[in-house]
Structure 1
Amino acid sequence: MSQPLTLQLIDTHAGGDVSRIVVGGIAPLPGATVRDQMHYLRDDADGLRRLLLEEPYGIPEMSVDLLVPPSDPRAAAGYIIMEVMGYPIYSGSNTICTATAVLESGLVAKVEGRQQFTLESPAGLVQIEALVENGVVEAITCAGLPSYIDTYRASLHVPGLGDVTYSVAYSGGFYALVDATELGFSLVRKEERALADCAHRIVEAIQAERGFSHYTLGDVGPLPFLHFMGPVEQVADGYYRSRSTTYVHPGVICRSTTGTGTSARLALMHHEGRLRPGDRLETISLRETGFIGECIGTRPEGPLTVVDNTITGKGYVLAHSDIVVNCTDPLVECHGLRHILSAGQDAFD
């Protein structure tokens, strides 16, 4: 009887967004960098993403992060982010979850107090600061991708909604930013399905009207995300709070406010003159969880003003588990997966 193929997972969540960290069971992927390995996974082995985000193993609201060896010796680990919409090059909640998992698994030894280490995402090196108290990882602060405003308060007609005003930010992906109050939302949990439907209409209308290009990356595909913004209240000097929620895919509203969504908000508030370097914004989700974004500084990039930022949140470990991959099960689709499975293979072997 052949040994069953298994994947070793650490299930985590940050702000309510569940991230399944794959720590073993996958053979080494080709590629000189983590970005190259992401491209291989996307183009030649997408079965891993589908397996863990679809029935019977998962649901589309989850994310998956595969630990891989870093290409840069300064990084403790590399990680590839997989979500229902594909392979984002960066994600704040996934980074918080991955950093928590590498500490809880012992890949990076915990140090009481504040400690720093580096991870390698498909977007490049990410600086991590962890706060450990009594052996518990209480907070992770990660560098967000530089964010900027591409479009400010444009208007378009959306079928079923009428004229909608939106801005567009880049913060690891292009985000449409809309005022929730203008669209009749209070950003409470009972609105989740209506928010998803509204966002889908707006995103489809924007995609049909225009595309977006990053100032260094060029064409990164159609705008995928929408962030609903609640009113901003100032709760202390340089500290602001706002209810928020992020749409990422038809029918899918993130359970957290998302790190990249929070970074996009920082860019917009700075663009409007409401946020200065050193100021912080706490975004609050439909489930009353939150992330804290901080504007570290700004710099010019041609005609753009780029906001450097960090995102702080707490990751929680939900489970350590082995997933048995049975390719004879009619509910399991192993196409695009079988060739990268390796019994007993650790991510760093």
Structure 2
Amino acid sequence: MPSFSLMDTHAGGDVSRIVTGGIKPLPGNTVRAQMEYLRDEADGLRRLLLTEPHGIPEMSVDLLVPPCDPRAAAGYIIMEVMGYPIYSGSNTLCTATAVLETGIVEKREGRQSFNLEAPAGLVQVEAEVRNNIVQSVTCEGLPSYIDTHRALIEVPGLGEITYSVAYSGGFYAMVDATELGFKLVLEEQERLAACAHAIVTAIQLKHSYSHYHLGDVGPLPFLHFMGPVETIGPGRYRSPSATYVHPGVICRSTTGTGTSARLALMNLQGDLKPGDSLETVSLRNTRFTGTMHSSSQLGLHRVVENTISGRSHVLNQTSINIDQDDPMIDCSDLLKVIGNA
């Protein structure tokens, strides 16, 4: 019976299932090309781990692969219910922790740096280890920018909504939670998801977006609710936040890319300068900290370089068996990739 191994982790409450072994070498001379092979030819692994009986849509999957860039310690392919994002902050935090806990990168006391290779390219990581436990991880966010600032759209059932659009690894609609009557508390989770779905659907029907360098990176899938900003120290800010990623799904964390998007918007509006940081706080009181390092003008866009900091926790390590007679498992393309690593 074919099987493969997993390490389940979470960052800010978002569960990332790290596939650590049992997968055949994938075709492609970059991690991006290997991701595209899975997406186009062998999507069964993603479907298996994000649907019942093995998983749920709120989870993510990160497949560890040998790096193609010699500067990287490991490569990783991100799989979510909406598909294959080229980057994710929470998934990078979890993958970085997994490569330390599995020994792919030797764990050392104190601070240590290494690189990972995402489909988006090389990612710099800094981890802090105390008493042999990974206490925190800081990773590069993708260069982020605002595509659309405070536009208006008519949304059925909600009326006229003001929104901005950011790119930070995916396109995000960004809305003021207070303007929509939300306090950003856990009890609002279902209403937040329904509201976000209506806004995202309306935007998708009216607009499409293209990255200034990457071109078509897919439709706008995400929405970030922004709460009031408070000052907690010189150049340090905090804000309640919530991120919608799929119909019915509000992330348990604020998401790394959502936090990066917020940095870009605050910088554009003159509320954040290089060296400043924003702590985003989820409905479950979990937190990520985004730090803005610099901004530059590229064509029409002000692009923000940033990092995301947080902590990932290991939940368990296990293996999954593939029973080809199980009617709940679709093996049509799964067996293309299951085998000896």
Q: Per-residue deviation at 1:339?
A: 1.5
5 Å-filtered alignment, 1:91-130, equals 91-130=88-127
Range 325-334 or range 228-237, more displaced: 325-334
Runs of 5+ consecutive residues of structure 2 not aligned to the other structure = none
Q: Per-residue deviation at 1:87?
A: 0.2
Amino acid corresponding to residue 313 of structure 2 in structure 1: Y
Q: What is the number of equivalent residue pairs in this alignment?
A: 341
Aligned to 2:211: 214
Q: Per-residue deviation at 1:159?
A: 0.1
Structure richer in strand, relative to its length = 1
Q: Tell me which stretches of 4 or more aligned residues in structure 1 moved more than 2 Å.
A: none
Q: For the residues of structure 1 that align with 2:332 and 2:95, how far apart are their CA atoms?
A: 26
CA root-mean-square deviation: 0.6
From 290, 295, 298, the counterpart of 1:293:
290
Q: For the residues of structure 1 that align with 2:174 and 2:209, how far apart are their CA atoms?
A: 14
5 Å-filtered alignment, 1:112-151, equals 112-151=109-148
Runs of 5+ consecutive residues of structure 1 not aligned to the other structure = none
From 299, 302, 321, the counterpart of 2:299:
302
5 Å-filtered alignment, 1:1-349, equals 4-342=1-339, 345-346=340-341
Q: Per-residue deviation at 1:335?
A: 1.7
Residue deviations 1:191-243, cap 9 Å, x none?
11111100000000000001011000111121000000000000100000000
Q: Per-residue deviation at 1:336?
A: 1.8
Q: Per-residue deviation at 1:176?
A: 0.3
Amino acid corresponding to residue 121 of structure 2 in structure 1: G
Residue deviations 1:126-159, cap 9 Å, x none?
0000000111100000000000000000000000
The percent identity for this pair of structures is: 68
Secondary structure (helix, strand or coil) at the match of 1:213 reads coil
Amino acid corresponding to residue 325 of structure 2 in structure 1: T
Amino acid corresponding to residue 160 of structure 1 in structure 2: G
Residue deviations 1:169-210, cap 9 Å, x none?
000000000000111111111111111100000000000001
Q: For the residues of structure 2 that align with 1:341 and 1:117, how far apart are their CA atoms?
A: 28
- TM-score normalised to the size of structure 2? 0.99
Q: Per-residue deviation at 1:304?
A: 1.1
Q: Per-residue deviation at 1:334?
A: 1.2
Q: For the residues of structure 1 that align with 2:200 and 2:256, how far apart are their CA atoms?
A: 20
Amino acid corresponding to residue 67 of structure 2 in structure 1: P
Q: For the residues of structure 2 that align with 1:270 and 1:336, how far apart are their CA atoms?
A: 45
Q: For the residues of structure 2 that align with 1:336 and 1:170, how far apart are their CA atoms?
A: 32
Q: Per-residue deviation at 1:163?
A: 0.4
Q: For the residues of structure 2 that align with 1:118 and 1:287, how far apart are their CA atoms?
A: 30
